[in-house]
Every structure is written in C-alpha cells, then in structure tokens.
C-alpha cells in the first residue's frame, strides 16, 4: 500500500528545505528564497514567520526599496544553539570546541593526556575542560559530538583498534552520558568527521569525495551524494593497512607492506632514525614543518624519503579513483605542511596508474587546516545533520 504524506510531513520537509537554504546564505529576501526552494511566496513567508518565532531565523525589512512595500530579508541564526565537539584522535591531548549551527568554531580548549591516565581520569579532565571553556556561560547545546581514532561499531557503540588502549572495547557514549547527563552523544571515527568537515550546503545533489586523513595512522572518509558511506558494519575507510607494492616493512598489525608503514610521519621518522626527534616535539605538525624546511633545502635523504611516500600515495589513490570515481580526493591532517612539496608527484603517479586517467581529469587537492579543526568542524556538521533529521521536524512550523 502506498504511503501518503500528511500535511505535517510536507510542512516539515519544506521547513528543512527553507532552513537549509538559509544556512548557506546571509540575508536573502523571501521572494529570492521562494525562487530558490521552488515554493510559493506565501508558503515561504508563513514558514519564515514560524521559524522566526522558534528563534531559528531573523527577519528584517530591507532598508532599500524601489517603491511600494519594502521586501523583508531573512537570515539564518547560527548562534541559536551549539555543538560541543570533542577531538580524541591523538593519544597525548584532547581538544574541545564550541561550534554554532553554521559549524563555525567559536572557542576551543586543549588538555593533555598522560599514558598513565585512566578512562575515569580522562573523562574528569574533559568535564573540567568543558566548564573552563564555557567560563560560567553554559550554552544551549544540540549535543556532544566526538571524533576518535578507532573503529567505531555503530551497532554496539564499542570502540575497536583504538590508538589509545584505554578506549579499546569501551562503549564510550555510555560513559560520556555520565559526564554530560541528558545530552545527546554522537561518536564517530575521526576520518569520517574530517570528511564531513568538507560537506557544503548545495542546491544540487551532494558531492562524491574521498578524504585521506593523516594522523598517527591513515583513515579514509568516503562521501557518496553528500552522505558518508560506512559499509555494512560501519568499518569502511580503514586505509592504513592497505598493502602497497615494494614494501616489506612490518606493521604494528603484524602484517607487512601496509600503507601506514610508509606514509605517516612516524614511519618517516623511523626510517630517518629520528623517532627521538618527533617524540621530543610538542606536536607531530612541528616535525612536518621541520621536514618541510629540509625538503625545501634539498636534503637528499629527506627528499628521497618523501618522494617515495608520494609515489606510494599516488599508487593507492589510483586504485581508489578507479573504484569510487569521486569528484575529488582531498588530503588533510598532520602531514599538510609536506603536501606542497610532493603533491605533483602524487598526482602524476595517480594519473599514470589509474585506468580512468585518460578519460577524466583526476581532481586531487590538499587542505592546510589544523587536524583538530577538521575533526571539530566535522563533528559539528554530524550533529547538525542529525538534529535536522530527527529533532527539527518536531519544531512547530505553522
């Protein structure tokens, strides 16, 4: 039997359509908005009035008019509510950030994690950092969105293969509910959130893209038509253990030839006999900057090692491009300072090995943005999309 949508359903769908259009705009007239979302002016006007009453948009009369009644302008209200996003991708520190509905990072704070810290100690530090971040002014939260370097089983909520052993086989969301009682908790893999950070509001169908996320390992975010692809068990995108040719280095997983043994900062430091150097630095990003300077100066051992990394990345990306045929492949994370030096090698190798290279141009770019910002921004986007799909339709819209 065919399902027939009710009036309420239609109104909820139209409200989401209008609200999403406003999110990607600044001030826009109701007539412009009606044209964009392809609804009648009366419907859009009524909906905007309801959204204004709910505090979700602002409406003002346009100060400029060509005569007759002044056209009202409508604007998205990004500070109506916030997401507390938590970046737990690193084993030595954790970031918390407050982001508004337009996934703009308003404030952030970092606290250190010791190898001796227990789960309970880390959660206590997190609560303390949150209160310090708010500084007595507790905002209206949609919820808590967490990115972590681990395989997250969406069915059980249990973390697997965590970079920090203290989280291994832990149902993190259950513990976070004790720290943030009454709040919605969302947990996801850090590479997935980094990928979501690149999601753009668009009038057209969502993008198809791949995001290669470099941290202590290598993750892959897969976006299909603007939606993350997770696989049947939620494990899609475990890229670091993909095998590459001509490499027999043993990986921590017990296998040999894994991509992470040649294309992470730690693997590079290991080959250059500089593990003590990278571990002495406050951040792995500083080591990337250190390598960047040496590459630019032409230090042969560094140039050869990074060029080899570029060749292996290009090899893997050729396979990924042939499998997924994305609009673009994006590189981001703690190796961003190195990509300007080797991106041309990556592209050339990918084009040489890809079977589709002669048919379509391969779009590859890198993003030079702090790793924690990618995770926090993606966490905010995940929370917003969840809220838009679950809670937003329940808001009275006339």
The second-level CATH assignment, the architecture, of 81-196 is: 2-Layer Sandwich (3.30)
What per-residue confidence (pLDDT) applies to 69? 58
Q: Where are the domains of the chain?
A: 7-76, 81-196, 240-366
For the stretch 10-59, pLDDT in tens is 788 888 889 989 998 889 999 999 999 999 999 899 889 889 998 999 98
Q: Kindly indicate the confidence band of residue 326, based on its pLDDT and cuts at 50, 70 and 90.
A: very high
User: Distance of CA 186 to CAs 138, 382, 384, 387, Å?
Assistant: 20, 8, 11, 11
With a cut of 70, say whether residue 288 has pLDDT above it. yes
Global pTM reads 0.91
For the stretch 56-84, pLDDT in tens is 999 887 655 555 556 779 999 999 999 99
Q: What would the CATH number be for the domain defined by 240-366?
A: 3.30.420.40
With a cut of 80, say whether residue 393 has pLDDT above it. no
Rounded CA separation 352/100 (Å): 43
For the stretch 182-235, pLDDT in tens is 999 999 999 999 999 998 755 444 688 999 999 988 999 999 988 899 888 778
Say which CATH topology domain 7-76 has. Answer: Arc Repressor Mutant, subunit A (1.10.10)
Q: Kindly indicate the confidence band of residue 359, based on its pLDDT and cuts at 50, 70 and 90.
A: confident
Buried b / exposed e across 83-117, counting CB within 10 Å, b at 16+?
bbbbbbbbbeebbbbbbbbebebeebbeeebeeee
Please determine whether the domains at 81-196 and 240-366 fall in the same fold group of CATH: yes
Q: Kindly indicate the confidence band of residue 2, based on its pLDDT and cuts at 50, 70 and 90.
A: very low
Report helix angle 172-179 to 119-134, nearest 10.
Answer: 50
Which residues make beta-bridge pairs with 209? 223, 328
What per-residue confidence (pLDDT) applies to 3? 46
Which residues make beta-bridge pairs with 74? 28, 59
| Between 324 and 3, the higher pLDDT residue | 324
Question: Which residue is it, tokens 């959204």?
Answer: 51
- The pLDDT > 70 percentage for the chain reads 92
Which residues make beta-bridge pairs with 158? 171
Rounded CA separation 68/356 (Å): 57
For the stretch 132-156, pLDDT in tens is 999 988 899 999 999 999 888 888 8
Rounded CA separation 320/331 (Å): 13
């Amino acid at each position: 039997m065919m399902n027939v949508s009710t009036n309420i359903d239609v109104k909820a769908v139209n409200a989401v359509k209008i609200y999403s259009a406003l999110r990607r705009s600044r001030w826009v007239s109701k007539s412009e908005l009606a044209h964009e979302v392809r609804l009648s002016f009366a419907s859009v006007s009524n909906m905007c009035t309801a959204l204004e009453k709910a505090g979700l948009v602002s409406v003002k009369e346009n100060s400029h008019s060509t005569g007759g009644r002044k056209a009202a302008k409508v604007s998205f209200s990004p500070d109506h509510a916030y997401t507390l996003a938590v970046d737990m991708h690193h084993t030595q520190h954790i970031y918390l950030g407050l982001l508004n509905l337009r996934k703009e990072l308003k404030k952030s704070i970092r606290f250190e994690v010791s190898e001796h810290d227990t789960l309970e100690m880390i959660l206590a530090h997190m609560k303390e950092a949150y209160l310090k971040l708010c500084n007595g002014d507790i905002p209206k939260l949609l919820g808590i969105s967490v990115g972590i370097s681990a395989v997250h089983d969406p069915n059980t909520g249990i973390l697997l293969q965590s970079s920090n052993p203290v989280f291994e086989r832990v149902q993190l969301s259950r513990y976070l509910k004790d720290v943030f009682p009454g709040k919605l908790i969302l947990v996801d893999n850090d590479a997935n959130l980094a990928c979501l950070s690149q999601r753009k509001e668009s009038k057209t169908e969502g993008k198809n893209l791949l995001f290669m996320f470099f941290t202590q390992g290598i993750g892959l975010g897969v976006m299909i038509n603007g939606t993350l692809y997770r696989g049947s068990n939620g494990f899609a995108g475990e890229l670091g253990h993909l095998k590459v040719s001509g490499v027999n280095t043993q990986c921590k997983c017990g296998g040999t030839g894994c991509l992470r043994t040649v294309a992470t900062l730690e693997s590079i430091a290991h080959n250059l006999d500089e593990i003590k150097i990278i571990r002495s630095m406050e951040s792995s990003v500083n080591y990337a900057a250190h390598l960047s300077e040496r590459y630019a100066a032409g230090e042969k051992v560094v140039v050869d090692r990074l060029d080899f990394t570029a060749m292996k990345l290009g090899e893997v990306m050729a396979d990924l491009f042939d499998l997924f045929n994305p609009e673009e492949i994006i590189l981001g994370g703690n190796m961003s300072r190195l990509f300007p030096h080797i991106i041309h090698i990556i592209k050339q190798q990918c084009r040489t090995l890809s079977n589709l290279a002669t048919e379509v141009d391969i779009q590859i770019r890198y993003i030079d943005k702090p790793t924690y910002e990618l995770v926090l921004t993606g966490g905010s986007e995940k929370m917003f999309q969840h809220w838009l799909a679950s809670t937003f339709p329940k808001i009275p819209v006339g």
